[in-house]
Structure 1
């Protein structure tokens, strides 16, 4: 059987909407997925990211599980509506602090953070102005991205932008 090279980095990944939950906590704004999944008939079983895995409240335990697995990397996404609730203007300090604690927790466990700036949770306020078809959304994304890097860039070496699945 072939083995992986010693420098091979094993990791795990998540996306903010699918794991965080707490969509009404910590100053988070509404995302397009919050709106979509709240409409009757859009999701077959009616589930949503409202609770998800409740990673927002249980992140320390989750990082312990990642460490226990022996993963050396964790790719996660920041929720734009948690950092900038309306997609422009005011940044949410509580959201930024959540991701700062997450990054510190990863590093203290010897897990390399890989940050994805967007995993399909556009702020609903931007969608109402045309979403990604409105050129201004790209400008707002740049503003958001710079703020995230200003807060986390001293500790995060790997950043994926604008999305983790460019061909989806």
Structure 2
């Protein structure tokens, strides 16, 4: 994976061990329906795999695959018009930063609730652990930073920061 050119945007995270590959595999294989196979499941899982491999059909991929339909040249992000529309820009767009902050805050509350529901009593320092986690740090200036663990989640990769919290507070791994 380290030599995969498509994954250059997250090479540092790969090298630093910031991705929990076991949980990422579980997430990519997760089937949220009762059907063992279906067209919708194939589309859903294909979408996740394309995003985590940075091959989602953004303009850079469309230009590569359909050069007559999408002529070469710089095509800007339709949201911010400040950056080239490519997989690495997904999640980093300034126009989405307030949405990213809201999602991270909601996810922190949801994680807290999930851990409380699956614990006996209220675990000590749980709220502080979540609030101090780099994953839930919302003090980034402007757009989400490419090194932020939330960037991995946007691309369907599970950050080690999240699984560390889960391992620390949930003893039953079969939720």
Identify whether the pair has TM-score above 0.5, normalized to the shorter chain.
no
Q: Which has the larger radius of gyration?
A: 2
Larger helix proportion of the pair: 2
Larger strand proportion of the pair: 1
- When normalised by structure 1's length, the TM-score is 0.31
- When normalised by structure 2's length, the TM-score is 0.30
